[in-house]
Structure 1
Amino acid sequence: MKSHRTTQTMKPATAAKKLGVYLPATPAEFQEGVVSRAELDELQANPPEWLRELRRNGPHPRPVVAAKLGVSIAGLARGGVTEPLTTEQIEALKNDSPEWLRKERATQAEARKEAARLKKRDAERAEQGDRRS
């Protein structure tokens, strides 16, 4: 019996998220269609000019803005940043370095440090458990 392979597709919002771009800034044909896994792979491997331009200059979705600023998405909200930002706006924020951004970067650094400590602790516990077996 032959298995029928169906083409896996996704909504444009899902594809935009995977590509790291802000959906409303993409071309209309991207927003209105569906994207197959093969098309997504092709977009990632050989991005067209519109995708390269969006990645370079934005507007960027919140996860990308947060990553570029070195803060969490919640930190962005606490800082009053709720809209997508362009690369230029992100650079201006970095240069201005407002108090909320310095505070959120410090919070994020502490969270990373704690996560690393817990990972090391868990690895040591797992190693000790292996020795006892």
Structure 2
Amino acid sequence: MTSQKTTQTMKPATAAKKLGVYLQATPADFQEGTVSRDELNALQADPPAWLQELRRNGPHPRPVVAARLGVSIAGLARGGVTEPLTTTQIEELRDESPEWLLRERATQAEVRKEAERIKKKHQEQDAAGH
């Protein structure tokens, strides 16, 4: 008896998310097919021109936009940013530094600081034997 190894595949939306790109901006053949784990690994290891271009110039999905601006996805929504943005648009937002962006960056910094405080507290408790 030999066991056949099945190829793990994923929907294009899942693959685009793992690649950090906006699905609607990918080539049609990528959007219409399925992507195997091996194909995903190949795309990550040696990205084709279209993938390099999308990563460099966008449009970028909200998680990438949020990370590049240093805010949360919810912070983007509170700031009125609901659509994918290009790298140029992200840079323009950074340069303009609207009030909402400054406020959301401060909020994000507080969230990170609190997460670090909690992590340190847990480490201290673990070290104390709790």
> Normalising to structure 1: TM-score of the pair?
0.97
Distance, in Å, in 2 between the alignment partners of 1:57 and 1:32 is 23
Runs of 4 or more off by more than 4 Å in structure 1?
none
Partner residue, 1:79? 79
* Residues 100-126 of structure 1, C-alpha deviations (whole Å, 9 max, x = no match): 000000000000000000000000000
Q: Summarize the alignment of residues 1-133 of structure 1 with structure 2, pairs less than 5 Å apart.
A: 1-129=1-129
Distance, in Å, in 2 between the alignment partners of 1:2 and 1:109 is 54
- Displacement, 1:28? 0.2
* Aligned AA (1:56): R
SS in 2 for 1:71: coil
* Aligned AA (2:91): E
* Aligned AA (2:71): V
* Aligned AA (2:112): R
Distance, in Å, in 1 between the alignment partners of 2:9 and 2:17 is 14
Number of matched residues?
130
* Aligned AA (1:102): L
- In structure 1, list runs of 5 or more residues that go unmatched: none
* Aligned AA (2:87): T
* Residues 66-89 of structure 1, C-alpha deviations (whole Å, 9 max, x = no match): 000000000000000000000000
Aligned-residue Cα RMSD (Å) equals 0.7
SS in 2 for 1:129: coil
- In structure 2, list runs of 5 or more residues that go unmatched: none
> Normalising to structure 2: TM-score of the pair?
0.99
Distance, in Å, in 2 between the alignment partners of 1:45 and 1:4 is 26
